[in-house]
């Protein structure tokens, strides 16, 4: 399968898709480096240098991970794909609650397009909210934990009124979010892989080298090697579970159409142990980010009762509450996402339509019940695995060193996302290769 990388480039349309994806990634990275108007880039660099020499623990480690370092420099794409993810979680959760959305979802293509439209509007709304929060944060100097007061990120007294600068900043960042959303959809449509996941993957990949470098500098080569080995073990474990399938045999009835005999074949429905992929992890971590975003709206230095509670239990990533809430969220989202993406009734109906049946089970409702039975049983280990993998490495890092824990990219969440997206994308490339090579064979 490694040769797929090479032969992928020999196939013209696949080469085009790959290059297109790389091009989009380049645009994404360019926007992530480009500072927004009104931001003093020199001062930002100065601040980052100050942070790196000191104890680098800003509030934004997780979010910075997802935005690939773009956030600290208040770049055009500083918000990244995060508002879009949050919006799609909210809409998917609302689909269960609001009957109108539910009926839209069942309507098929047109209804789906409507929901996508709502998601986009919500994304822009969330974008404005987050952009204002970050601009306020940057102006008060809290983006760098108040450690960088002498170099204001947004300098004042430049001849332009402050309100204009701030408005332009918020507008730019919101527009950037809209553009990132569009880039993601372009990748899904014309490139390789799922756009949203590919962009998150890119952001994580952008942070890895510098984080690895920090570990090497602080701990030496031995610890660096140990971390690499740990990552490799996690990768193998993730691949192992991702590839595990429960195969449900399906038999197709023979039938005559004209003079030809059709069907009579036996295949299987592959039900993966982890049918949901990496989406639950992404959802869980971005949902858990919301409390710390909420706290940004209040004065950091005198939080009242519940705010301190939130700060201690839901924002600190090494508190037991945070870890258990994260775990439970992942389990919930696994079941939730599986129920959204795999509809047993629909699969059973389709099978019935084409004369397929599971040996020993009647077609129609009993088959749907049977699939549902298996799915709900097989998802439990899948959910537990997702939760454990995203939590266990964090324990390792806590045990290793509390300070080092800030270097999140090597935690389970990031590795899980990387492996998941990698597998998904490579498989898509491979299937398109197969499609091309055996075209004459199939038709």
Partner 1 sequence: MAEKNRRDEDDNDRLDDETIDDVVDDDADDEADEPVGRGGTATRERTKADSADSRPKTRTEGRVGIFGRLARFFREVVAELRKVIWPTRKELLTYTAVVVVFVAVVLTIVAGLDYAFARAVLWVFGGSS
Site for partner 1, rule CB under 8 A: 1-2, 4-5, 22, 25-26, 29-30, 33-35, 40-43, 45-46, 151, 201-202, 205-206, 208-209, 232, 235-236, 239-240, 243-247, 249, 251, 266, 268, 273, 358-362, 370, 373-374, 377-378, 380-381, 418-419, 422-423, 425-426
Taking the complex as a whole, how short is the minimal distance between the CB of residue 298 and partner 1, in angstroms? 32
Q: Of 208 and 303, which has the nearer Cβ to partner 1?
A: 208
DSSP states along 262-304? E---EEEEEEETTTTTTHHHHHHHHHHHHHHHHHTTS-SSS--
Q: Of 33 and 300, which has the nearer Cβ to partner 1?
A: 33
Q: Of 113 and 434, which has the nearer Cβ to partner 1?
A: 434
Taking the complex as a whole, how short is the minimal distance between the CB of residue 200 and partner 1, in angstroms? 12
Q: Of 161 and 249, which has the nearer Cβ to partner 1?
A: 249
Q: Report d(CA 41, CA 43) in Å as an integer.
A: 5
- Scan for tokens 């549902």, then name that residue: 372
Taking the complex as a whole, how short is the minimal distance between the CB of residue 297 and partner 1, in angstroms? 30
Q: What is the DSSP letter of 394?
A: H
Judge whether 405 and 341 are in contact, CB under 8 Å.
no
Taking the complex as a whole, how short is the minimal distance between the CB of residue 55 and partner 1, in angstroms? 24
Judge whether 210 and 49 are in contact, CB under 8 Å.
no
Q: How far is CA 382 from CA 125, 142, 328, 344, 418, in A?
A: 34, 40, 13, 18, 18
Structure tokens at 308: 């301190």
Q: Of 42 and 220, which has the nearer Cβ to partner 1?
A: 42
Q: Residue 16 phi/psi, 5° resolution?
A: -60, -45
Taking the complex as a whole, how short is the minimal distance between the CB of residue 38 and partner 1, in angstroms? 12
Taking the complex as a whole, how short is the minimal distance between the CB of residue 379 and partner 1, in angstroms? 9
Taking the complex as a whole, how short is the minimal distance between the CB of residue 25 and partner 1, in angstroms? 7
Judge whether 298 and 133 are in contact, CB under 8 Å.
no
Taking the complex as a whole, how short is the minimal distance between the CB of residue 273 and partner 1, in angstroms? 6
Taking the complex as a whole, how short is the minimal distance between the CB of residue 220 and partner 1, in angstroms? 22
Taking the complex as a whole, how short is the minimal distance between the CB of residue 151 and partner 1, in angstroms? 7
Q: Of 162 and 266, which has the nearer Cβ to partner 1?
A: 266
Q: Of 175 and 426, which has the nearer Cβ to partner 1?
A: 426
Task: Name the nearest CA neighbour of 267 among 287, 248, 288, 290.
Answer: 248
Half-sphere exposure in the Cβ direction for 119 (13 Å, CA): 26
Q: Is 250 helix (H, G, I), strand (E, B) or coil?
A: strand
- Scan for tokens 């409390």, then name that residue: 291
Residues recorded for the chain: 443
Q: Report d(CA 61, CA 203) in Å as an integer.
A: 13
Q: Of 205 and 398, which has the nearer Cβ to partner 1?
A: 205
Q: Residue 271 phi/psi, 5° resolution?
A: -105, 115
Structure tokens at 87: 């919006």
Q: How far is CA 39 from CA 52, 162, 418, in A?
A: 20, 12, 32
Q: Of 272 and 289, which has the nearer Cβ to partner 1?
A: 272
Q: Of 268 and 438, which has the nearer Cβ to partner 1?
A: 268
Task: Name the nearest CA neighbour of 21 among 149, 189, 233.
Answer: 189
What sign does the CA torsion over 407, 411, 417, 422 have? positive
Taking the complex as a whole, how short is the minimal distance between the CB of residue 421 and partner 1, in angstroms? 9
Taking the complex as a whole, how short is the minimal distance between the CB of residue 217 and partner 1, in angstroms? 17
Q: What is the DSSP letter of 430?
A: H
Task: Name the nearest CA neighbour of 56 among 150, 138, 151, 148.
Answer: 148
Q: Of 30 and 160, which has the nearer Cβ to partner 1?
A: 30
Task: Name the nearest CA neighbour of 422 among 184, 180, 228, 200.
Answer: 200
Q: Of 40 and 188, which has the nearer Cβ to partner 1?
A: 40
């Amino acid at each position: 399968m490694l040769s797929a990388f090479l032969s992928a480039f020999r196939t013209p349309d696949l080469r085009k898709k790959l290059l297109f994806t790389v091009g989009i990634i380049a645009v994404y990275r360019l926007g992530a480096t480009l500072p927004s108007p009104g931001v003093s880039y020199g001062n930002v660099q100065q601040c980052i240098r100050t942070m790196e020499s000191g104890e680098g623990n800003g509030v934004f480690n997780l979010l910075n991970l997802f935005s690939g370092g773009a956030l600290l420099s208040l770049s055009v794409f500083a918000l990244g794909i995060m508002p879009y993810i949050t919006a799609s979680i909210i809409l998917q959760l609302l689909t269960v609650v609001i009957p109108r959305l539910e009926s839209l979802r069942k309507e098929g293509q047109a209804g789906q397009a409507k929901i996508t439209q709502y998601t986009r509007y919500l994304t822009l709304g969330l974008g404005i909210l987050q952009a204002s929060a970050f601009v306020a944060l940057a102006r008060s100097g809290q983006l760098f934990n108040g450690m960088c007061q002498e170099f204001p990120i947004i300098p004042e007294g430049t001849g332009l009124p402050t309100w204009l600068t701030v408005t332009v900043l918020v507008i730019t960042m919101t527009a950037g979010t809209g553009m990132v959303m569009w880039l993601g959809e372009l990748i899904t449509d014309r490139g390789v892989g799922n756009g949203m996941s590919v962009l998150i993957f890119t952001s994580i990949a952008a942070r890895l080298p510098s984080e690895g470098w920090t570990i090497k500098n602080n701990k030496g080569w031995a610890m660096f090697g140990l971390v690499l080995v740990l990552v490799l073990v996690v990768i193998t474990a993730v691949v192992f579970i991702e590839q595990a399938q429960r195969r449900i045999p399906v038999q197709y009835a023979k039938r005559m159409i004209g003079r030809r005999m059709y069907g009579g074949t036996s295949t299987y429905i592959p039900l993966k142990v982890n049918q949901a992929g990496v989406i639950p992890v992404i959802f869980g971590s971005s949902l858990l980010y919301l409390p710390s975003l909420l706290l940004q709206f209040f004065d950091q230095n005198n939080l009242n009762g519940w705010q301190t509670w939130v700060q201690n239990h839901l924002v600190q990533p090494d508190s037991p509450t945070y870890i258990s809430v994260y775990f439970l969220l992942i389990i919930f989202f696994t079941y939730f996402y599986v129920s959204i993406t795999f509809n047993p009734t629909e699969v059973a109906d389709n099978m019935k339509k084409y004369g397929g049946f599971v040996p020993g089970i009647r077609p129609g409702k009993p088959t749907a019940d049977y699939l549902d039975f298996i799915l709900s049983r097989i998802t439990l280990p899948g959910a537990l695995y997702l939760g454990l993998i995203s939590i266990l490495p964090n324990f390792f890092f806590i045990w290793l060193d509390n300070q080092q824990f800030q270097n999140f990219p090597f935690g389970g969440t990031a590795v899980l996302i990387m492996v998941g997206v990698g597998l998904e994308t490579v498989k898509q490339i491979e299937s398109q290769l197969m499609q091309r090579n055996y075209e004459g064979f199939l038709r």
